[in-house]
Amino acid sequence: MENTSILVIGTHPEILQTVLRLINNNPLWKATGTTSPEEAKDIFLKNSFDLVLIGAGIDKDTDEALRTFFRQNNDKIAIAQHYGGGSGLLYTEIAQAIHQK
Amino acid sequence: MAQTILHKADSRGITDLGWLKSYQTFCFGNYYNPDRIHFGALRVLNDDIVDGGKGFGDHPHDNMEIISIPLEGELRHEDSMGNTAVIRPGEIQMMSAGTGIYHAEYNGNKDKPAKFLQIWLYPNQLNVEPRYDQIVLEKGKALNNLQQIVSPNKEDQGVWVYQNAWFYLANFEKGFAQNYSLHNEKNGVYIFVIKGSVETANTLLEERDGLGILETDQLSIRAQNDAEFLLMEVSMTI
C-alpha cells in the first residue's frame, strides 16, 4: 500500500510538532508541517500530497485562500479541518478524508 | 415522526491500556467506524476508567469544547493556562481549547479508580482564546428533574460552551417521567444512560446505552428503574 502524504498547517508550534509526530508514527502516513500559510503554499508546490490538514490558528480568510490555492494546483487534493490538536481524532479525520477523495 | 440512532453499550469502541479502559461511543484514537463519527456537534463521548495514581500526561488540544463529568473518584487537572484543580462527582469541568492548550489529568487517588465521562463538542467558533471553567452542582437538584449543566449562555445555569448545546443530568426514580422540549427543533438530542434504565422514543435504554433522536421538538423520558442519565441537546450543524 502506498504511503499517504499529508501537509499539516497550524500556528501553534508545539501542537504542530505533536500532530506531525503522531501522524508519522503510522508507517502508512508521512506528514510535513508548517506554521506559516505562505510556506505551506511553497511546500505544496514542491511536493506531492494526498491530504492537507488545516489545524488551529488559521483565520477564516486565510483558510479559504489556502483551500482555493491547493485546489487550483491539485483538483484531487483532499482537505480537512483538524480538530482537537492531538491523537484522539486524527485517525478518523485522515481515514475519512482519504475515503471521500 | 422522530428518527432515532441506537448505540448499545456493548457496541462501543474499547481502548484498554491497562491503566486506562475507555469505552467510546464515537470514533476516537484507533477506534474507527465510519458509521460512528459524530452526532451533530457531539464528537466524543468517552466513558473512561483510570487506575489509581495513573493518568494522561501533558498533551495538547485545540478547537474543541471539552466537558468532563466525574462519576467516581477524583481527577487532578493541570493546564498551560496555570489552572490546577481537582474535580469530583457533583462537579463539571469545561475547557475551550481554542487556539491551543496543554493539560494533564491524573487520578487523584492512588488506591481506587477514577471514572468519568469525557465529552467533546465541535465548537461553533474556531480559534477562540482558551478557557477553563469548573463548577459545583447544586446537590439534589437532579432528583426527578433535568438539571442543566451546560448551555451556550454565559448567564445561564451550568458551564457555557461555544456551541448551541444544552446538557442535563437527571436522577429519575422508577416510574417517574418528564417531557423535554428542545430549544430548537433542528437540533438533535442524545441520551446516555449512566445507571438504571429509561424508555424514550419507543426505545428501552439500559446502562451505558446511548440514543440519538432527530426530527422532533419534544420527547418524553420515563425511568424503567431508578436511573441516572445525561441528556444532550446539540446542534446538528457543524
The candidate with the shortest Cα–Cα distance to B188, out of B160, B212, B210, is B212
- In this model, does residue B86 exceed pLDDT 90? yes
**CATH level 2 (architecture), domain B13-136:** Sandwich (2.60)
Write out pLDDT tens, residues B15-47. 999 999 999 999 999 999 999 999 999 999 999
pLDDT at A63: 97
- Number of CB pairs < 8 Å for A and B? 76
Task: Answer for the pair B38, B49: CB distance below 8 angstroms, yes or no.
Answer: no
How far apart are alpha carbons B64 and A84 in whole angstroms? Answer: 5
End-to-end C-alpha distance for chain A, whole angstroms: 16
- In this model, does residue A1 exceed pLDDT 60? no
Retrieve residue B27's grid coordinates. 470514533
- In this model, does residue B136 exceed pLDDT 70? yes
Residue B183 annotated in ligand binding: no
**What is the mean predicted confidence (pLDDT) over B123-149?**
97
Q: Do A85 and B61 touch (CB under 8 A)?
A: yes
Task: Answer for the pair B191, B213: CB distance below 8 angstroms, yes or no.
Answer: yes
| pLDDT tier at B174, thresholds 50, 70, 90 | very high
CA angle B177, B232, B41 (to 5 degrees): 155
pLDDT at B226: 98
Q: Do domains B13-136 and B147-234 have the same CATH topology?
A: yes
Q: Do B44 and A88 touch (CB under 8 A)?
A: yes
Instruction: Select from A17, A83, A90, A99 the residue whose CB has the most chain B CBs within 10 Å, as the one to mutate to test that interface.
Output: A83
Question: Domain limits of chain B?
Answer: 13-136, 147-234
Phi, psi of A71 (to 5 degrees): -70, -35
Q: Show which of residues 24-63 on chain A sit within 8 Å of chain B, judged by CB atoms.
A: 55-60
Candidates B32, B62, B102; nearest CB to A84: B62
Q: How high does pLDDT run on average in chain B? A: 97
Write out pLDDT tens, residues B200-227. 999 999 999 999 999 999 999 999 999 9
- Compute the radius of gyration of chain A from its Cα atoms: 12
pLDDT at A98: 87
Half-sphere exposure of B102 (CA within 13 A, CB side): 11
**Chain B residue numbers touching A11 (CB-CB < 8 A):** 99
**What is the mean predicted confidence (pLDDT) over B138-160?**
97
The candidate with the shortest Cα–Cα distance to A85, out of B147, B81, B61, is B61
Residues contacting residue B179 through CB under 8 Å, at least 6 positions apart:
B218, B219, B220, B221
Residue B7 annotated in ligand binding: no
Residues contacting residue B9 through CB under 8 Å, at least 6 positions apart:
B23, B206, B207, B208, B209
Residue % of chain B over a pLDDT of 90: 99
Instruction: Select from A14, A15, A63 the residue whose CB has the most chain B CBs within 10 Å, as the one to mutate to test that interface.
Output: A15
Write out pLDDT tens, residues A64-95. 999 999 999 999 999 999 998 878 999 999 99
CATH number 3.40.50.720 is the correct assignment for the domain at B147-234: no
Q: What is the largest CA-CA distance in chain A?
A: 36
Q: Do A56 and B32 touch (CB under 8 A)?
A: no
